[in-house]
């Protein structure tokens, strides 16, 4: 292996832990806490689903300024701000009995966490600290990230039954705050020659130039609807189909662990099919997995769902980073990936909200999952081959 292929393993490890905790503590654990929150508070299912959707909406809206801050000022301030807001917001959410206060506080905390600590930030930071081995840094980071749901969903299920959802939420979000604080202390991408960023509105315009880029953004929006629905309804859908909460949480966590199936063999897949076709394959795998999820009332179907959806989601994350680097260039990658994540999250906010109303109106949790699967499948044909910019 050449020197150029080396990466700062310790710092990539810290970024990996941040990624695991940022995705795990709210966007994965929420699906486990969903029914316990309803049982404890008496809030309606649509209102609770909307609370999650609003956090996704704010996460997407904040991803552009979050990426821009990373480009201009470096990672230390971004991770530090995320830690402060996450701690304050979720402490309020865990202590309230008012759905409005819960929605506002959890949305601010979850939105900030997504805007300042999701892949568009950690992948860009990995690229900045590994300038001669960018693809490898992204690949290793996303292998770490595959453990997010595999760790946090079983832990949330283990804690919520004896402790209740409020202490569980406090515990899992505190772990994310600690990870962010360690990242703020040990990693800094601010240098005298760090990549500059133009005005944020200039970046917005640059991000939508070209047919390939626009189609990529639309595809990510469609996929966002499906993936966000899975995050909220994978556990409730399996319990509604007949699995106990502990078993449903296990298989949902296994779905996260199965993301390794889409990441460990990724480079051979890309070498054979190319980035775009590999991304199409990942979208289709997610959609088919969601169809299986709608009927996953036994361990066999739950395992099939975990493998298919795990492969799809696992492959999607690094492929998005690779395709974004090619489409947007590297100079202001944080802002550009922020644009992409904004579309993914803001479109994704639609999924749980509509699914909650459909489930409430029909009494079925399979129907909203099937509808989201159909939307996700539409993302594959939306992609087109990259055009030079």
Residue 1 lies in a domain: no
Q: Three-state DSSP class for 6? A: coil
Residues 6+ apart with CB under 8 A from 252: 28, 31, 32, 149, 153, 234, 235, 238, 306
Residue 23 lies in a domain: yes
Domain count, the chain: 1
Q: 87 versus 343: which is more confidently predicted?
A: 87
Full-model pTM: 0.74
Helix/strand/coil percent split, the chain, to 5: 85, 0, 15
Q: What value does the mean pLDDT of the chain take?
A: 85
Range with lowest mean pLDDT among 85-89, 175-179, 265-269: 265-269
Average pLDDT of span 165-180? 96
Does residue 109 have a pLDDT over 70?
yes
pLDDT at 168: 96
Could you tell me if 389 and 326 are in contact, meaning their C-beta atoms sit under 8 angstroms apart?
A: no
Residue 387 lies in a domain: no
pLDDT at 2: 39
Does residue 203 have a pLDDT over 80?
no
Tokens 């109303």 sit at which residue? Answer: 357
Query: Sorting pLDDT into bands at 50, 70 and 90, what band is 16?
Result: very high
Query: Sorting pLDDT into bands at 50, 70 and 90, what band is 205?
Result: low
Could you tell me if 133 and 7 are in contact, meaning their C-beta atoms sit under 8 angstroms apart?
A: yes
Could you tell me if 213 and 343 are in contact, meaning their C-beta atoms sit under 8 angstroms apart?
A: no
Residue 47: which domain range? 7-382
C-alpha triplet 206, 55, 364: angle, nearest 5°: 115
Residue 306 lies in a domain: yes
Tokens 């361990």 sit at which residue? Answer: 299
Does residue 190 have a pLDDT over 80?
no
Interatomic CA distance for residues 293 and 372, integer angstroms: 11
pLDDT at 356: 81
Q: How large a percentage of the chain has pLDDT more than 70?
A: 90
Cα diameter, the chain: 59
Does residue 325 have a pLDDT over 80?
no
Range with lowest mean pLDDT among 81-85, 104-108, 275-279, 315-319: 315-319
Does residue 165 have a pLDDT over 90?
yes
- The model's pLDDT over 208-230, given as tens digits with 9 standing for 90+, comes to 566 777 888 889 899 989 888 88
Average pLDDT of span 103-121? 93
Range with lowest mean pLDDT among 100-109, 136-145, 158-167: 136-145
Does residue 386 have a pLDDT over 60?
no
pLDDT at 89: 96
The encoded tokens of residue 73 equal 């000022």
Could you tell me if 226 and 372 are in contact, meaning their C-beta atoms sit under 8 angstroms apart?
A: yes
pLDDT at 195: 47
Burial 274-290 (b: 16+ CB within 10 A, else e): ebbebbbbbbbbbbbbb
- The model's pLDDT over 282-324, given as tens digits with 9 standing for 90+, comes to 999 999 999 999 999 999 999 999 999 999 988 888 888 778 7
Interatomic CA distance for residues 252 and 258, integer angstroms: 10
Nearest to 141 by CA among 319, 321, 13: 13
Residue 55 lies in a domain: yes
Residue 151 lies in a domain: yes
Residue 389 lies in a domain: no
Does residue 330 have a pLDDT over 80?
no
Q: 231 versus 51: which is more confidently predicted?
A: 51
Three-class secondary structure assignment of 249-287: HHHHHHHHHCCHHHHCCHHHHHHHHHHHHHHHHHHHHHH
Residues 6+ apart with CB under 8 A from 202: none
Q: 141 versus 385: which is more confidently predicted?
A: 141
One-character DSSP codes across 193-230 = TPPP---HHHHHHHHT-SHHHHHHHHHHHHHHHHHHHH
C-alpha triplet 326, 327, 331: angle, nearest 5°: 75
Interatomic CA distance for residues 226 and 377, integer angstroms: 9
Task: Write phi, then psi, for 222 (nearest 5 degrees).
Answer: -65, -45
Range with lowest mean pLDDT among 2-6, 143-147, 166-170, 236-240: 2-6
Three-class secondary structure assignment of 66-100: HHHHHHHHCHHHHHHHHHHHHHHHHHHHHHCCCHH
Residue 298 lies in a domain: yes
Burial 344-380 (b: 16+ CB within 10 A, else e): bbbbbbbbbbbbbebbeeeeebbebbbbbbebbbbbb
Residue 39: which CATH number?
1.20.1250.20
Range with lowest mean pLDDT among 9-13, 265-269, 288-292, 324-328: 324-328
């Amino acid at each position: 292996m050449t020197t150029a292929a080396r990466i700062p393993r310790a710092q990539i490890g810290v970024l990996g832990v941040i990624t695991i905790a940022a995705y795990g503590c709210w966007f994965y654990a929420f699906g486990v806490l969903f029914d316990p929150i309803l049982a404890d508070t008496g809030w309606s299912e649509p209102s609770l689903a909307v609370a999650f959707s609003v956090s996704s909406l704010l996460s997407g809206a904040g991803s552009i300024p979050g990426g821009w801050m990373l480009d201009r000022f470096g990672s230390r301030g971004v991770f530090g701000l995320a830690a402060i807001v996450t701690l304050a917001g979720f402490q309020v959410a865990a202590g309230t009995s008012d759905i409005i206060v819960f929605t506002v506080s959890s949305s601010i905390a979850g939105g900030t966490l997504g805007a300042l600590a999701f892949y568009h930030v950690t992948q860009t930071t990995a690229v900045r600290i590994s300038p001669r081995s960018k693809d490898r840094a992204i690949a290793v980071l996303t292998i770490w990230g595959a453990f997010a749901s595999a760790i946090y969903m079983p832990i949330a299920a283990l804690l919520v039954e004896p402790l209740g959802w409020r202490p569980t939420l406090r515990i899992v979000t505190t772990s994310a705050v600690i990870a962010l604080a360690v990242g703020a202390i040990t990693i800094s991408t601010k240098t005298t020659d760090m990549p500059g960023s133009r005005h944020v509105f200039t970046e917005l315009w640059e991000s939508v130039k070209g047919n390939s880029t626009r189609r990529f953004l639309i595809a990510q929006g469609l996929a966002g609807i499906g993936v966000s629905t899975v995050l909220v309804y994978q556990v409730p859908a399996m319990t509604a189909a007949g699995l106990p909460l502990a078993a449903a949480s296990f298989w949902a966590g296994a779905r996260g662990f199965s993301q390794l199936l889409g990441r460990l063999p990724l480079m051979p897949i890309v070498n054979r099919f190319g980035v775009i076709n590999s991304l199409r394959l990942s979208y289709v795998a997610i959609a088919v997995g969601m169809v299986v999820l709608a009927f996953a009332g036994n361990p066999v179907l739950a395992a099939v769902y975990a493998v298919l959806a795990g492969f799809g989601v696992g492959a999607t994350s690094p492929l998005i980073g690779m395709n974004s680097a090619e489409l947007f260039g590297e100079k202001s990658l944080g802002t550009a990936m922020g644009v992409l994540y904004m579309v993914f999250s803001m479109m994704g906010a639609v999924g749980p909200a509509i699914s909650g109303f459909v489930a409430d109106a029909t009494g079925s949790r399979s129907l909203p999952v099937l509808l989201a699967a159909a939307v996700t499948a539409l993302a594959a044909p939306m992609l087109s081959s990259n055009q030079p910019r």
